Amino acid sequence: MSETRNDKLNRGEVSRELTLELWVEKYRPKSLAEVVDQEQVIKALRGFVERRSLPHLLFSGPAGTGKTTVAIALAHEIYGSEDLVSKNYLELNASDERGINTIRTKIKEFARTLPMGDVPFKMIHLDEADSLTADAQHALRRIMEMYSGTTRFVLACNYSSKIIEPIQSRTAVFRFGPIPDRAVKERLRFIAEKESVPLADDGLEAITYVSEGDLRKAINLLQTAAAYGGEVTAEKVYRVAGLARPEEVKEMIRMALGGDFLRARSIARDLMLNYGMTASDIVKQLHREILRTPDMSEPEKAEFIFYLGEADFRLSEGAHGDIQISALLARLVAMGVRRR
């Protein structure tokens, strides 16, 4: 009797198989209808596809929310075949090629030639466009003007404020929001079913918690956790992500507010040793969980977040992580003492 994939999973023998192909790319939608969430953006873009007319576009939003996926799906819908996409669609990452020479050579050479096949224009997708230098952006603006008859530009960035105003005024701006938890879970269940990966409910909740609306991060976490073999559980997800369970962070906060400084500090030390968390990781999780803590008043939360900001700055400047976390817990202890 032949072994099933689950038999191999239970023995942890499929880690290499699971990592041969990135699931982010394998399950990337090739049409706008398949894109996860972002309904308002998709609705507007469908109108452009139907008219076979497209302005220059600027996609802005957090990482993993579908900006690159939408650009690729848009190219497939306009060109209709992989052959025409490969000939008329150019994707560049501006964080790797961010200088003015790239704009004047690679982009200009592609933009100046006529589109191949029965298509209205070529497309240049410039990912992480907010990494372009100011000189490169000004050069790009000029090229967008000169070759608008043959080429459309799709710029994707995390922060539209870093794109110069002349480029923003020449593009239709679409803002992408974080993917809702519901949509993230639905996509993860779909991929887990396709890959025959056993996914526990608490594992699904953990991936959703860690990813914070970043679908790319969620899919990568699922694949990495699955590569260890067996069922994808919350414990495995948090280990892979290098983060603590929310319950452990809440317990640390509760201990500190209760005046047990040494116990709270011991929990923080265990998190750094057992999960490989850095002080910055703990600061970020403290920030997230403090806002959900029912035992603190709004002024107390605001005061502690002020201290979190100070610690985060000091850590970025090279301060000692253990000392900064201890200082934050000491602040919580002081808040608890003031109540009594």
How confident is the model over 106-127, as a mean pLDDT? 88
Q: Is the pLDDT of residue 98 over 80?
A: no
SS (H, E, C) 299-330: HHHHHHHHHHHHHHHHHHCCCCHHHHHHHHHH
Nearest CA to 328 among 264, 274, 273? 264
Q: Do the Cβ atoms of 101 and 108 come closer than 8 Å? A: no
Confidence at residue 232, expressed as pLDDT on a 0 to 100 scale: 93
Tokens of 34: 């398949």
Confidence at residue 19, expressed as pLDDT on a 0 to 100 scale: 52
pLDDT category at 279 given cuts 50, 70, 90 is: very high
pLDDT in tens, 214-271: 999 999 999 999 988 889 999 899 988 888 889 999 999 999 999 999 999 999 999 8
Alpha-carbon separation of residue 117 from 88, 90, 111, 276, 277 (angstroms): 9, 15, 15, 53, 53
Can you list the domains of the chain with their CATH numbers? 38-175 (3.40.50.300), 180-241 (1.10.8.60), 246-339 (1.20.272.10)
Distance CA 247, CA 270 (A): 14
pLDDT in tens, 282-334: 999 999 999 988 888 899 999 999 999 999 999 999 999 999 999 999 999 99
State the residue for tokens 């972002």.
Answer: 38
Q: Is the pLDDT of residue 38 over 80?
A: yes
pLDDT category at 12 given cuts 50, 70, 90 is: very low
Distance CA 327, CA 284 (A): 15
**For residues 309 and 105, which has the higher predicted lDDT (pLDDT)?**
309
Tokens of 186: 């639905």
pLDDT category at 95 given cuts 50, 70, 90 is: low
Question: Percent of the chain, pLDDT > 70?
Answer: 91
Between CA 178 and CA 184, with CA 180 as vertex, the angle to 5 degrees is 105
Q: Is the pLDDT of residue 16 over 50?
A: no
| All residues at 6 or more sequence positions from 273 whose CB lies less than 8 Å from its CB, including other chains | none
Confidence at residue 99, expressed as pLDDT on a 0 to 100 scale: 59
Q: Do the Cβ atoms of 222 and 232 come closer than 8 Å? A: yes
Which phi and psi angles does 294 have, rounded to 5°? -75, -15
Q: At what angle do helices 246-257 and 261-274 cross, to 10 degrees?
A: 160
Q: What is the mean pLDDT of the chain?
A: 87
Confidence at residue 13, expressed as pLDDT on a 0 to 100 scale: 47
pLDDT category at 336 given cuts 50, 70, 90 is: confident
Nearest CA to 184 among 147, 216, 226, 140? 216
How confident is the model over 159-164, as a mean pLDDT? 91
pLDDT category at 97 given cuts 50, 70, 90 is: low
Confidence at residue 274, expressed as pLDDT on a 0 to 100 scale: 79
Lowest mean pLDDT among 45-54, 68-77, 253-262: 45-54
| Half-sphere exposure (Cβ direction) of 213: Cα atoms closer than 13 Å | 11
**For residues 103 and 92, which has the higher predicted lDDT (pLDDT)?**
92
Confidence at residue 69, expressed as pLDDT on a 0 to 100 scale: 92
pLDDT in tens, 128-152: 888 888 888 888 898 888 988 889 9
Q: b vs e for 211-236, b when ≥16 Cβ sit within 10 Å of the residue's Cβ?
A: bebbbbbbbbbbbbbbbbbbbbbbeb
Distance CA 240, CA 225 (A): 6
How confident is the model over 24-32, as a mean pLDDT? 88
Q: Is the pLDDT of residue 169 over 80?
A: yes
